[in-house]
Amino acid sequence: MQYLIYATDLRKSFGNNHAVDGVDLSIASGEIYGLVGADGAGKTTTLRLLVGALRPDEGQASICGYDLLKQTEQARSQTGYLSQRFSLYEDLTVLENIRFFAEVRGLTQKEWLPRCMDILEFVGLADFKDRRAGQLSGGMKQKLGLASALVTRPRVLLLDEPTTGVDPVTRQDFWQLVIRLVLQHEGVSIIITTPYMDEAARCHRVGFMKSGRIIAEGTPGDLRATLSGRILELRGQPLNLLRHLAAEDEDVEDVQAFGDRLHLRLRQESTGRVLKRLPQRISSGGGTVSDLRQVPPVLEDVFIALTE
């Protein structure tokens, strides 16, 4: 099988900081791959290595079959990259930015102009084409970044936290764009990094990064299954006392508050015991349980379990 993005044992250190410490990736065409992890886990460095902005200390990577170290420019010509920080020119207009990046990527005006209008229409910036990029809202800037990355019709898109700091409606828009992109154009694959678990859940596959390594990888369903049966939802009064008592239980690994309820993560094979034991302990401790039941784990549970 031909992977559009392929990397083995990528490593990159800055001094003593092993930012990326042996990452393997194989991403097929048509796939949206989510890279999640805490800040500093190495997500951005991984993308920068894949785009050739940093040189790996060790390991190999290829994009669409082009070796990133030996055929850097061919590999880049297949890549669209949206960096975490806005990296277009704030003093140029939307159209000028797209024009510049299209032309330096070798497109003639005949090629980029019609495409660019399509893309601006696609991302919803057509009405703002003459506005300076610096005067766009955060969400619109990200859409402009995406538009500018798309104008050369890359087969590989690397999106570094494109929705961080963007309002929920625009986030939704942005994801619709990403999903439509993969559906409409065959043979495209996307790596997207995100701190939001609801976004990770939309990816075909998710990789969890920690200390420069991918420590778990799989479809969102697979990943959730690793905690299957080990998550309990607890409702009752008073929440603080419940939280305290639950955390004291020897089979409870972790307690997280989700609004008016608690998620308890249990040791393996302990669900039955806890379901019996915990309500008694709570009522003898002075609290009331209105609901305690097993729930399917969400990615957030998996993320927290893996981060610890």
Partner 1 sequence: MNSRLISIIRKEFIQILRDPRTLGIILVIPIVQLFLLGYSATSDVRNIPLAVFDQSQSPEARALLDAFRAADYFRIDYAVNSQEEIAVLIESGEARAGLIIPPDYANRLARGEAQVAFILDGSDPTSASTALSAAQLIGQAHATDILQEKIARSGMPFDLKPPVEVRTRVWYNPDLVSAYFMIPGVIGMILFAITSILTATAIVRERERGTIEQLIVTPIRSWELVIGKITPYALLAFLDTLEVLAIGHWWFGIPIRSPLSLILALSGLLLLSGLGIGLFASTIANTQQEAMLTVWMTLLPAIFLSGFFFPLEAMPKILQVVSYVVPLRYYLVIIRSLLLKGVGVAAIQGEVIALALFGIFIMGAAALRFRKRLD
Query: Stretches 101-109, 116-124, 208-216, 219-227: which one binds partner 1 (CB under 8 A)?
Result: 101-109
Q: Identify each DSSP E strand in the chain by its residue range.
A: 3-14, 17-28, 32-37, 58-63, 66-67, 79-82, 156-160, 189-193, 205-210, 213-218, 231-237, 252-258, 261-266, 288-294
Residue 12 structure tokens: 């990159």
Residues in contact with partner 1, shown as a per-residue x/- string from 262 to 301 under the rule CB under 8 A: ----------------------------------------
Residue 70 touches partner 1, criterion: CB under 8 A: no
Residue 87 touches partner 1, criterion: CB under 8 A: yes
Q: Identify each DSSP E strand in 171-211 by its residue range.
A: 189-193, 205-210
Count, residues near partner 1 per rule CB under 8 A: 31
Nearest alpha-carbon partner for 151 in 115, 125, 203, 176: 115
3-state SS class at 22: strand
> Which amino acid type is present at position 158?
L
Among 34, 37, 42, 52, binds partner 1 (CB under 8 A): 52
Residue 148 touches partner 1, criterion: CB under 8 A: yes
272 CB-near residues (< 8 Å, 6+ apart): none
Query: Stretches 99-107, 162-170, 195-203, 298-306: which one binds partner 1 (CB under 8 A)?
Result: 99-107
- Please say which residue, 105 or 235, places its beta carbon nearer to partner 1: 105
- Please say which residue, 73 or 308, places its beta carbon nearer to partner 1: 73
**Kind of pairing between the strands at 156-160 and 79-82:** parallel
Among 88, 156, 177, 182, binds partner 1 (CB under 8 A): 88
For CA atoms 221, 227, 229, 233, give the dihedral sign: negative
In the complex, what is the shortest distance from the CB of residue 8 to partner 1, in angstroms, rounded to a whole number? 20
Residue 189 touches partner 1, criterion: CB under 8 A: no
Nearest alpha-carbon partner for 302 in 221, 242, 245: 221
- Please say which residue, 157 or 216, places its beta carbon nearer to partner 1: 157
Among 6, 33, 66, 81, binds partner 1 (CB under 8 A): 81
The torsion of the CA quartet 81, 33, 38, 164, rounded to 10 degrees, works out to 50
Query: Stretches 73-81, 175-183, 242-250, 251-259: which one binds partner 1 (CB under 8 A)?
Result: 73-81
Query: Stretches 49-57, 113-121, 242-250, 274-282: which one binds partner 1 (CB under 8 A)?
Result: 49-57
In the complex, what is the shortest distance from the CB of residue 109 to partner 1, in angstroms, rounded to a whole number? 10
Nearest alpha-carbon partner for 165 in 194, 203, 130, 135: 194
Residues in touch with partner 1 (CB under 8 A): 14, 48, 51-55, 73, 76-77, 79-81, 83, 85-92, 96, 99-101, 103-106, 148
